[in-house]
């Protein structure tokens, strides 16, 4: 059953109705209006009625290549639209057309005869129930207005004078125009071509729906008649068709627009009559340039056609496409060259990008993908391909987003601690130790009769008996020394040499030892000082230890009382020298300045013992009594250079002998008396028993007992089992 499409609202109405059931538009031809029927000759119409809606011609209305899209109010042009174009208006309440790549819906079971048509023609079959949504871009509306203002609107497209054109799908196959039917052979090519969106220079511009690309007003999804029906096509078409040469595919491909659609304006041969609207459209396009061909020469393709054109890249040249003659008139150079940047690698056109014009030298710099691509093919195909710029066509060159590089899955690390058996054991032990730190443990009460305490008491008693018994009894068990140490002999020789120590000569004695070692050093120094005092030496006592002056006074009182030396008369105590080595150096440089007064406050350098003494070299002898190797070294290093060759003698503790003996062997010290043994030897050598002799037996007995204890303890320890050793206890009190 035939239906009539309303030229105003575009909705279909049953055949036979006088007016549209939806909008009330009358389907009767207007008085004086001429409906165009197939086979009729085109008749020129007066288009003065359109003058009222003619927009003012101005340069701003012209669309030039590269101009940005400008929205214009085209509602005023609605009445100027041809009816066939109005029929193309889609109804907004109808569902959108499925995507081209979606499989077509299966045909209803009751329409077996339509199953004969290919899928892409199914849309025409279902035209009764399917309404295409149409959105006419601004440029197309402007172009229409221009055409109307030229008064060259096709007769069949002048609503409302023109009755609704019969739907193509309603026509029997044999009633189709011949040019449509001849296109049936190349329907596959045409289908593929019209299924592509057109490229518009304006990225905001939307491509025309496919169904609007046909000049007939039928969508390209509508079936294309396979055979031409000469008797049923319009006159203007029928005059064009007989002589129409069909372009071979190559020529047709050249005539295609970059967008892939058919391009070119049907151009009449000389002498032929062509529709005015077509000629006007061609003329306007040639004069102003087509918006669909921004980069090429003056566009000769009407935007109406160009909007539905497809890229020629996917045109199958093996298919016998017969193009109309007017297509053949389009010269290859008139067709805008497809921009290389407008197409992606797979030949698809990216309508969102403006074709880039790359210089040749930039194109030469573009890397070759076959050389650059090192990744496997399957992997690289999954990567995004660059669509513009010098890297166009390459895959995976740039990250998909800033900061997103070629991520690699991080290696998985086990959070389980990998510890060996020894490490685990040590860790457990450490844990026990740390845990034990916080626990309060009862300290064992030291026993008065413990083995260690008993041993200590035994050692102490043995030593006390060995030392005190000879002193208390007065017995002399230990034999005298069989020989004298050479350093002691050298010291004695210095003291007894009148050339070195003349009578009543000033002698400087440094008492630099602690009270704890006074017993040893007093016994060692007493015979030497005693021997010296026999020469009538005037003594100057000095010390770098705070307790030194007191020790000096004690020494003189305890050991040299025999000589009846008194302070300030035979000897003078210069007191304490602060500063250690610095004090010694200061005293060596200027003794009166370093120690000007005695501890009692008297002027030391005006006393008789220091008469005639102003510097260190004025002393005839320097005797250093010390228990410290450092102190002895400081005296030698700081004072020896100021002695002007005067002899130096040292009375030292036995513990400092190893460190100070080298100074004697090097000649910096002329004599050395070491410890109690040295004092005993000196006393023995001068035949004046003193402290050394008194301590000698006790000293020998103490050494002997000590050696015995050490040997016994060592043997006992060696004989004992190593496992019987008790752990060291810090809780024991000494």
Partner 1 sequence: MKGIISTAIAIAVGLVVLAGYFIETPLLVNLRRLLLDWAVILAAVALFVGLANLVKVHSARVRDRQKGGFYSVVLVLCLLATLLAGLALRPEHPVMAAVFNAVQFPVEASLMALLTVSLVYASVRLLRRRRNLLSVIFLVTAVIILLGTAPLPFGEIPILGDLLRPFFTQVLAAAGARGILIGVALGSLATGLRILFGADRPYGSR
Nearer to partner 1, 344 or 706 (CB): 706
Residues numbered 632-691 forming contacts with partner 1, rule: CB under 8 A:
633, 654, 657-659, 661-662, 665, 675-677
Q: Are the C-beta atoms of residues 177 and 183 closer than 8 Å to each other? A: no
Which member of 273, 712, 729, 732 binds partner 1 (CB under 8 A)? 712
Which member of 133, 245, 586, 618 binds partner 1 (CB under 8 A)? 586
Q: Does 365 bind partner 1 (CB under 8 A)?
A: no
Q: Does 553 bind partner 1 (CB under 8 A)?
A: yes
Which member of 279, 372, 398, 481 binds partner 1 (CB under 8 A)? 481
Give the other-Cβ count within 10 Å of 618's Cβ: 17
| Smallest separation, CB 701 to partner 1 (Å) | 6
Stretch that binds partner 1, among 1-9, 317-325, 608-616, 711-719 (CB under 8 A): 711-719
Tell me the Ramachandran region of residue 687: left when phi exceeds 0, alpha when psi lies from -120 to 50, beta otherwise. Answer: left
Nearer to partner 1, 35 or 656 (CB): 656
Nearer to partner 1, 295 or 580 (CB): 580
| Smallest separation, CB 565 to partner 1 (Å) | 15
User: Residue 652: which residues within 8 A CB-CB, separation 6 or more?
Assistant: 521, 524, 624, 625, 626, 627, 632, 660, 672, 673, 674, 675
Residues numbered 65-94 forming contacts with partner 1, rule: CB under 8 A:
none
Nearer to partner 1, 399 or 546 (CB): 546
Residues numbered 383-422 forming contacts with partner 1, rule: CB under 8 A:
none
| Smallest separation, CB 710 to partner 1 (Å) | 4
- Residue 50 corresponds to which tokens in the numbers above? 């359109």
Residues numbered 483-522 forming contacts with partner 1, rule: CB under 8 A:
514-519
Q: Does 700 bind partner 1 (CB under 8 A)?
A: yes
Which member of 479, 612, 645, 723 binds partner 1 (CB under 8 A)? 479
Which member of 410, 601, 612, 723 binds partner 1 (CB under 8 A)? 601
Three-state DSSP at 728 gives coil
Q: Are the C-beta atoms of residues 220 and 168 closer than 8 Å to each other? A: no
Q: Does 468 bind partner 1 (CB under 8 A)?
A: no
Three-state DSSP at 677 gives helix
- Residue 67 corresponds to which tokens in the numbers above? 């101009």
User: Residue 159: which residues within 8 A CB-CB, separation 6 or more?
Assistant: 7, 8, 79, 81, 82, 83, 86
Stretch that binds partner 1, among 273-281, 321-329, 377-385, 548-556 (CB under 8 A): 548-556
| Smallest separation, CB 623 to partner 1 (Å) | 21
- Residue 723 corresponds to which tokens in the numbers above? 């496992």
Tell me the Ramachandran region of residue 474: left when phi exceeds 0, alpha when psi lies from -120 to 50, beta otherwise. Answer: left
Q: Which residues of 165-190 are buried (b: 16+ CB within 10 A; e: fewer)?
A: bbbbbbbeeebbbbbbbbbbbbbebb
Query: Which has the closest alpha carbon to 204: 327, 62, 353?
Result: 353
CA distances in angstroms from 302 to 179, 352, 589, listed in the order given: 20, 21, 118
Q: Does 594 bind partner 1 (CB under 8 A)?
A: yes
Stretch that binds partner 1, among 371-379, 441-449, 494-502, 720-728 (CB under 8 A): 720-728
H or E stretch at 626: strand 621-626
Q: Which residues of 713-727 are buried (b: 16+ CB within 10 A; e: fewer)?
A: eeeeeeeeeeeeeee
Residues numbered 335-364 forming contacts with partner 1, rule: CB under 8 A:
none
Nearer to partner 1, 398 or 654 (CB): 654
Residues numbered 557-576 forming contacts with partner 1, rule: CB under 8 A:
567, 573
Which member of 317, 707, 731, 732 binds partner 1 (CB under 8 A)? 707
CA–CA gap between residue 49 and residue 33 (Å, rounded): 12
CA–CA gap between residue 651 and residue 511 (Å, rounded): 10
Three-state DSSP at 207 gives coil
DSSP designation for 229: B
Which member of 549, 591, 632, 679 binds partner 1 (CB under 8 A)? 549
Query: Which has the closest alpha carbon to 650: 666, 626, 633, 628?
Result: 626
Which member of 477, 569, 606, 732 binds partner 1 (CB under 8 A)? 477
Nearer to partner 1, 250 or 665 (CB): 665
| Smallest separation, CB 597 to partner 1 (Å) | 11
| Smallest separation, CB 546 to partner 1 (Å) | 7
Q: Does 600 bind partner 1 (CB under 8 A)?
A: yes
Q: Does 292 bind partner 1 (CB under 8 A)?
A: no
CA–CA gap between residue 309 and residue 323 (Å, rounded): 14
Nearer to partner 1, 535 or 559 (CB): 559
Q: Does 230 bind partner 1 (CB under 8 A)?
A: no
Which member of 713, 729, 731, 732 binds partner 1 (CB under 8 A)? 713
Q: Does 720 bind partner 1 (CB under 8 A)?
A: yes
Q: Does 578 bind partner 1 (CB under 8 A)?
A: yes
| Smallest separation, CB 588 to partner 1 (Å) | 10
Three-state DSSP at 164 gives coil
Q: Does 524 bind partner 1 (CB under 8 A)?
A: no
DSSP designation for 12: E
Signed CA dihedral, 180, 183, 185, 188: sign only = negative
| Smallest separation, CB 666 to partner 1 (Å) | 9
| Smallest separation, CB 713 to partner 1 (Å) | 3
Q: Does 459 bind partner 1 (CB under 8 A)?
A: yes
- Residue 306 corresponds to which tokens in the numbers above? 């160009």
Nearer to partner 1, 83 or 638 (CB): 638
Nearer to partner 1, 409 or 726 (CB): 726
Which member of 407, 728, 730, 733 binds partner 1 (CB under 8 A)? 728
Determine the size of the site formed for partner 1 (CB under 8 A).
77
Q: Does 455 bind partner 1 (CB under 8 A)?
A: yes
Nearer to partner 1, 407 or 728 (CB): 728
Q: How many helices (H) and strands (E) does the chain have?
A: 24, 8
CA atoms within 13 A on the CB side of 680: 21
């Amino acid at each position: 059953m035939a239906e009539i499409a309303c030229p105003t609202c575009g909705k279909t109405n049953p055949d036979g109705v006088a007016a549209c059931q939806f909008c009330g538009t009358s389907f009767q031809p207007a008085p004086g209006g001429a409906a165009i029927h197939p086979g009729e000759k085109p008749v020129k119409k007066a288009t003065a009625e359109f003058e009222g809606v003619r927009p003012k011609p101005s340069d701003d209305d012209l669309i030039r290549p590269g101009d940005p899209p400008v929205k214009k109010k085209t509602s005023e042009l609605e009445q100027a639209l041809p009816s066939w174009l109005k029929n193309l208006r889609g109804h907004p309440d109808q569902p959108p057309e499925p995507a081209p790549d979606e499989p077509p819906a299966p045909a209803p079971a009751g329409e077996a005869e339509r199953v004969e048509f290919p899928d892409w023609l199914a849309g025409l079959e279902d035209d009764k129930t399917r309404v295409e949504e149409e959105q006419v871009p601004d440029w197309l509306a402007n172009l229409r207005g221009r055409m109307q203002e030229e008064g060259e609107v096709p007769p069949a497209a002048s609503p409302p004078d023109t009755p609704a054109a019969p739907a193509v799908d309603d026509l029997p196959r044999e009633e189709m125009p011949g040019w449509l039917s001849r296109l049936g052979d190349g329907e596959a090519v045409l289908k593929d071509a019209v299924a592509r969106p057109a490229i518009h220079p304006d990225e905001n511009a939307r491509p025309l729906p496919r169904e609007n690309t046909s000049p007939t007003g039928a969508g390209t999804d509508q079936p294309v008649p396979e055979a031409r029906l000469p008797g049923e096509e319009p006159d203007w078409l029928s005059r064009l068709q007989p002589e129409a040469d069909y372009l071979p595919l190559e020529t047709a491909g050249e005539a295609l627009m970059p967008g892939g659609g058919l391009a070119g304006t049907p151009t009449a041969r000389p002498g032929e009559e062509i529709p005015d609207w077509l000629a006007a459209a061609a003329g306007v396009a040639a004069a102003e340039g087509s918006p669909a061909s921004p980069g090429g020469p003056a566009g000769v393709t009407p935007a109406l056609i160009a909007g539905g054109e497809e890229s020629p890249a996917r045109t199958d040249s093996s298919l016998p496409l017969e193009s109309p003659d007017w297509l053949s008139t389009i010269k290859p150079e008139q067709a805008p060259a497809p921009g290389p940047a407008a197409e992606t690698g797979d030949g698809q056109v990216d309508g969102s990008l403006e074709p880039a014009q790359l210089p040749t030298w930039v194109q030469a710099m573009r890397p070759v993908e076959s050389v650059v691509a090192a990744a496997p093919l399957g992997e690289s195909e999954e990567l995004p391909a660059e669509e513009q710029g010098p890297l166009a066509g390459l895959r995976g060159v740039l990250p998909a987003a800033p900061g997103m590089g070629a991520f690699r899955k991080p290696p998985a690390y086990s959070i389980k601690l990998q510890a060996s058996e020894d490490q685990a054991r040590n860790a457990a032990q450490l844990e026990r130790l740390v845990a034990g730190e916080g626990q309060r443990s009862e300290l064992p009460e030291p026993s008065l009769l413990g083995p260690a305490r008993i041993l200590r008491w035994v050692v102490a008693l043995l030593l006390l008996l060995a030392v005190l018994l000879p002193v208390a009894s007065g017995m002399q068990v230990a034999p005298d020394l069989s020989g004298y140490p050479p350093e002691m002999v050298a010291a004695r020789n210095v003291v007894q040499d009148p050339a070195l120590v003349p009578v009543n000569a000033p002698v400087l004695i440094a008492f630099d030892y602690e009270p704890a070692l006074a017993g040893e050093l007093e016994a060692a120094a007493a015979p030497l000082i005693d021997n010296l005092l026999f020469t009538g030496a005037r003594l100057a006592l000095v010390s770098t230890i705070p307790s030194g002056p007191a020790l000096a006074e004690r020494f003189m009182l305890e050991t040299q009382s025999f000589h009846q030396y008194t302070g300030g008369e035979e000897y003078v105590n210069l007191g304490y020298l602060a500063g250690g080595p610095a004090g010694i150096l200061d005293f060596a440089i200027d003794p009166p300045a370093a120690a000007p007064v005695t501890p009692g406050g008297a002027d030391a350098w005006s006393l008789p013992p220091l008469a005639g003494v102003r510097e260190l070299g004025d002393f005839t002898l320097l005797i250093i009594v010390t228990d410290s190797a450092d102190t002895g070294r400081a005296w030698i290093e700081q004072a020896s250079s100021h002695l002007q060759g005067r002899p130096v003698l040292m009375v030292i503790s036995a513990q400092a002998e190893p460190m100070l003996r080298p100074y004697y062997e090097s000649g910096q010290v002329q004599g050395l008396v070491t410890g109690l043994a040295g004092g005993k030897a000196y006393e023995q050598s001068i035949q004046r028993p003193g402290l050394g002799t008194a301590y000698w037996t006790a000293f020998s007995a103490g050494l002997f007992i000590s050696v015995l204890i050490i040997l016994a303890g060592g043997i006992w320890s060696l004989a004992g089992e190593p496992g019987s050793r008790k752990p060291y206890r810090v809780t024991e009190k000494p």
